[in-house]
Amino acid sequence: MGERSYVLVTERYPCRVNAVGRARDLAVQAYAAIPWVDHEVIRLLVSETATNAVLHSGGGEFDLICHSPCDGAIQIELHDRSAKEPERRTHAVLDSHGRGLELLDLLAPGWSVETTLTGKGLIFSLEGDGTA
């Protein structure tokens, strides 16, 4: 029988660019005492998912939820107020944007999107070596 996860931290942010860094820092801080967690992967994926919420959800707010380690993995959720699913975007090789879903595929391949009563939640898990 597996372990049970609990919420370590949850925070609501306005959909503004300056909130992305705050969400990223909170997520890294939430897992700072867990040595097997790849904090740089957390930093990158929370930055990408929070930026997507800010740029593509149509405004309002987004919520960051960080779960305790469970069965050798952590789970992070980012909820926004838009029911629109994330879209893959085409980009040129040198573009600095448009790669968020590719990064999720590479670093947290089991990620998912769930429709909620208030919009959607993007959920990803990371195992001890920083991969899902």
List pLDDT tens digits, range 86-117. 876 666 555 555 568 889 999 999 999 999 99
Long-range interactions of 110-114: CB distance < 8 A, separation 24+: 113/85, 113/86
Could you give all domains of the chain from N- to C-terminal order, each with its CATH number? 7-127 (3.30.565.10)
Phi, psi (degrees; rounded to nearest 5) at 108: -145, 65
43, two tokens = 């930093």
Say how far apart CA 121 and CA 118 lie, in whole Å: 9
Strand, coil or helix: 80 = strand
This model's pTM is above 0.85: yes
d(CA 113, CA 124): 9
pLDDT given for residue 52 in this prediction: 92
Tens of pLDDT, residues 20-59:
999 999 999 999 999 999 999 999 999 999 999 999 888 7
